[in-house]
A and B are shown apart, each in its own frame.
Chain A
Amino acid sequence: MTPTMNRRRFLGAAGALGAALAAPRLALGESKTLVAATFPGTWSEADRQVILPAFKQATGATVTQSIILGTDQVARLVAAKGNKPPFDVAFFDAPQVIDAVREGLIVEYPVDKSPNFKELLPSAQDKWGPRITMQVIGIGYNPSKITGPPQSWDDLLDPKYKGRVGLTALNSQLGIAFLAEINRIKGGSEENFDPAFKFLKELLPNVGAIGANLGAFATLWQQEQIDIAPYNFNFVQTLKAKDVPVELSIPATGPVGWSTSLHVVANAAEPELAVQYIDTHLGAAIQGQLLKPPYDVIPTNAKVTLSGAITTSLAKTQDDLAKIRTLNWEKLNPQRGALIDRFNREIKI
């Protein structure tokens, strides 16, 4: 085995591999791909396991998920304005829709190309894009450590929870909604957030960890680093499915929620596929599937009756859901940057 022989064979093999790598498209085969945004946690899982296979069966196209928070989606679409957007389908919470429409980031939803659109509840049929679900926040708690569900946000201040309370960073909708709700309860307004920050500062001695992002927040529950925190109904269900002890309690002041919707992005690379993808979310069969554990996604299709954890924790019928209080996003959105800044400066553990 002379060195020359070794090297030659090695170089030959490398060359062959190189030729294979140089023709990526040939190796993977032709098939269209749609890039769609989705939220971290429950929704990306639900999309991956339910929507993507259904979509592939219907259209033969694959989907690349861009797992990204609503506000970050808006930022990236703004940065890409005028060029090809990083994803074709946007997944927004109610506040982002306002900003997106104003900046011209999304197009009106082509209702005639979407057969399932008419099946939605009237309140869900929005011209900019169908509302596919609703998110509700409440107090998440570990039932094995805390007996009896907490009845009020003020329970977080209870000294017996010292070091056991969790908070999440304000870049997520959960964080902002929590802050806005506390602010409202404590007498503040959209112009004045001092009451909310006063509450947070009182809360600080109890705070055990601040989740840097939603994945990290979920880990805090999994590793039992926190026992009580503001949390989102769907995330609680997802963790329960992973055998993590956590339940959601709606405080006496009532639940707070907002709608979530899908949109076709302006200048999309695959606008036809985008509409078909969104349409896949709207059908009664799919929404019925997503309603089941572990996703427990609140449906907006009129033909789907509520069942399961939703009826026990939140509301019995769609009419009850419609009564859940929402926040004034028109006024809150412009404050967002300043609020995040203030949070970063003042709330440190």
Chain B
Amino acid sequence: MRVSDSMLALPLTAIFVACFVAPLAVLLLLSLHGDISMTGWTLGNYAKFFTDRFNYSILVETLLLGLKATLVCLIFGFPIAWLCSRASPRWQSVLLFLVILPILTSVVVRTFSWIVILGRQGVLNQIVLGLHLSHEPLRLLYTEVGVVIVLAQVQMPLMVLPILAVLSKIDPNLADASRVLGAGEWRTLWRVTLPLSLPGVIAGCILTYSASITAFVTQSLIGGARLIYMPLHIYQQAVGANNWPFAAAVSIIFMVTVMIVVAVLSAIGRRSETYGGA
């Protein structure tokens, strides 16, 4: 029997259907029932989530957290990508190596090092107090600011790489033309480079945003059990309170929210591709 090319994808498809799609379907089913033995259909779990302000606020806080982390990544990540695109190949490799290193180091290790840095006697406070930037040590650990900082560092590579990919493909003649026509560097950046790099920026934002809001380890280790975001909430309901149907409902809500955000950003991304195209 002649094995066509498309059939090469069958084994992986089979595994995904059995190990990814099926479990998610069961998750959805469980969320619509009252208890784990799945005796009665109910929308009670979803109602419980949306009517209780506490639950609802966790979702909002999580979405806002992603926004903040993504913004920080963008502000610092774009310049690195920009510099990298203009560097010589050798320096590019070095810079890329440094950028990728964090994302390959174990996330627990990275978060742990931030616990060392952000603590009251940690490095950051030593610097801050030493430079007299503040009288009291900053409280960063177990606060949202701390979580945003660490998330930004952990996810930064996800922002830098797509932007770099797009920046490298921008025709340098366009920037030259802009300069010849009299625009300064900043104007060129704002009017030419940025719009052309928008697809990469959006791609980076999508990856960073979804990674930030689902970053269970970082949120929990730096935020502590007091700052509850969606992943920890799911975990606490599933393992701590043993309330599987409710945890399943929260998981579904979380996944749907992420999908909506990604879909919206992707749509914007696709429209932005027309800015630079022929």
Direct contact of A and B (CB under 8 A): yes
Q: A219-B119, A223-B120 are in contact. Are A171 and B242 (CB under 8 A)?
A: no
B214-256 interface bits toward A, Cβ cutoff 8 Å, 1 = contact, 0 = none = 0000000001111010000000000111100000000000000
User: Which chain A positions have C-beta within 8 A of B186?
Assistant: none
Residues of B participating in the A interface, judged by any CB pair closer than 8 Å: 54, 115, 119-122, 139, 142, 223-226, 228, 239-242
A212 engages B224 (CB within 8 Å):
yes
Give A33-81 interface residues, CB cut-off 8 Å to B.
71-72, 75-76, 78-79
Q: A212-B142, A212-B226, A345-B54 are in contact. Are A72 and B120 (CB under 8 A)?
A: no
Please report the number of residue pairs spanning A and B whose Cβ atoms sit closer than 8 angstroms.
Answer: 46
Alpha-carbon separation in the docked complex, A291 to B139 (Å)? 37
**Top-3 shortest CB links A-B:** A212-B224, A212-B225, A223-B120
User: Which chain B positions have C-beta within 8 A of A75?
Assistant: 239-242
A-B contact pairs, 9 of them (CB 8 A): A75-B240, A79-B239, A210-B226, A212-B226, A216-B142, A216-B224, A219-B119, A224-B121, A348-B226
Q: A79-B242, A344-B228 are in contact. Are A209 and B121 (CB under 8 A)?
A: no
Alpha-carbon separation in the docked complex, A348 to B143 (Å)? 12
User: Which chain B positions have C-beta within 8 A of A78?
Assistant: 242
Kindly report which residue of chain B lies nearest to residue A208, judged by CB atoms: B139
A169 engages B241 (CB within 8 Å):
no
Kindly report which residue of chain B lies nearest to residue A337, judged by CB atoms: B241
Number of interface residues of A (CB under 8 A): 22
Residue A224 contacts which of B120, B122, B226 (CB distance < 8 angstroms)?
A: B120
User: Which chain A positions have C-beta within 8 A of B225?
Assistant: 169, 171, 212-213
Q: Is A116 an interface residue (CB 8 A)?
A: no
Residue A223 contacts which of B121, B224, B240, B241 (CB distance < 8 angstroms)?
A: B121
Interchain nearest-CB distance for B59 vs A (Å)? 16
User: Which chain A positions have C-beta within 8 A of B228?
Assistant: 344
B239 engages A76 (CB within 8 Å):
yes
Kindly report which residue of chain A lies nearest to residue B119, judged by CB atoms: A223
Kindly report which residue of chain B lies nearest to residue A225, judged by CB atoms: B120
Alpha-carbon separation in the docked complex, A219 to B119 (Å)? 9
User: Which chain A positions have C-beta within 8 A of B115?
Assistant: 219
Give A188-227 interface residues, CB cut-off 8 Å to B.
209-213, 216, 219, 223-225
Interface centre among A78, A171, A212, A225 (most CB of B within 10 A): A212
User: Which chain A positions have C-beta within 8 A of B120?
Assistant: 223-225
Alpha-carbon separation in the docked complex, A78 to B121 (Å)? 41
Interchain nearest-CB distance for B127 vs A (Å)? 16
B242 engages A72 (CB within 8 Å):
no
Kindly report which residue of chain B lies nearest to residue A223, judged by CB atoms: B120
